[in-house]
Amino acid sequence: DGGITQSPKYLFRKEGQNVTLSCEQNLNHDAMYWYRQDPGQGLRLIYYSQIVNDFQKGDIAEGYSVSREKKESFPLTVTSAQKNPTAFYLCASSLRESGSNEQFFGPGTRLTVL
C-alpha cells in the first residue's frame, strides 16, 4: 500500500543528544514537509523540500536540520541546539510543492526529552 511511514513512533532522548526522525514515502511525491505539533496547538512548519537535494526553512527551523538525498526519504535531525524539543513531529508529502495539492501525513513520532 502507498503511504508515509515514520519511525520510531515514540522516542526518548537525553538532553544534549542529537536524534534523527525517519520519514519515508512511496507515493512518488516530489514535495515533503516536517511539522511540529505542541499540545493544544496547530502544526508549525519546520522544513520543506520541493525536490531532491533541495530544502527550505519553515517557520521554526532553528535547532533542526534535514537532508533530501532520495525522493522517498526526508529525515529530520533534532539537534542539541533545539531548546524545547519535546513535541509530536509529523511528516507529510504532496505531489508538488503547491498550494493546490493536499498534503498526506504520516502517523507521527512523539519525541520526549528526559
Partner 1 sequence: AQKVTQAQTEISVVEKEDVTLDCVYETRDTTYYLFWYKQPPSGELVFLIRRNSFDEQNEISGRYSWNFQKSTSSFNFTITASQVVDSAVYFCALSESAYSSASKIIFGSGTRLSIRP
What is the contact surface with partner 1 in residues (CB under 8 A)?
A: 40-45, 48, 56, 58, 88, 90, 92, 97-100, 102-108, 110
Q: Choose among 113, 107, 102, 112: nearest CA to 6.
A: 107
As measured in angstroms, the least distance from the Cβ of 74 to partner 1 is 15
As measured in angstroms, the least distance from the Cβ of 97 to partner 1 is 7
For 33-59, b where at least 16 C-beta lie within 10 A, e where not — what string?
A: bbbbeeeeeebebbbbbeeeeebeebe
Q: For residues 16 and 40, which CB has a smaller minimum distance to partner 1 in the complex?
A: 40
Q: Choose among 53, 41, 54, 51: nearest CA to 90.
A: 41
Q: For residues 15 and 102, which CB has a smaller minimum distance to partner 1 in the complex?
A: 102
As measured in angstroms, the least distance from the Cβ of 29 to partner 1 is 13
Q: For residues 38 and 81, which CB has a smaller minimum distance to partner 1 in the complex?
A: 38
